[in-house]
Amino acid sequence: MMGIAHEGVGFPVAWKVLPSGGESGAKSHIEVLERFLDIVEPTSIEAVLADREFISVDWMRHLKEKNTPFAIRMRSDRRVELSPQGSSLPVRMFA
């Protein structure tokens, strides 16, 4: 589900009904984002806020390609890759 937050209240705008279990992947996230962008002007988005189950390279790459600012909560034991050569830092260093 993607919605708009206004004065502390969230209003749903685009969503996808999932099969039982409720687990979704980057493909589902991208589908909902595209529906959302059909309704909401992309330049009006201040940030997409997401919980840690929304961590995937494909999802974050798609957000970047759409020039959509985002903030995704991550577990403190995760690492952030700094380069394709594999150097990384603990996510807590970015908090």
Q: Convert the pLDDT of each residue in 41-91 to its tens digit.
A: 989 999 999 888 888 889 989 999 999 999 988 888 888 888 778 788 888
Q: pTM for this one?
A: 0.75
DSSP string, 8-65: TEEEEEE--PPPTT----HHHHHHHHHHHHHHS-GGG---EEE-GGG--HHHHHHHHH
pLDDT in tens, 14-39: 999 888 766 678 899 999 999 999 99
Provide the 8-state DSSP code for 82.
Answer: -
**Is the distance from CB of 18 to CB of 28 less than 8 angstroms?**
yes
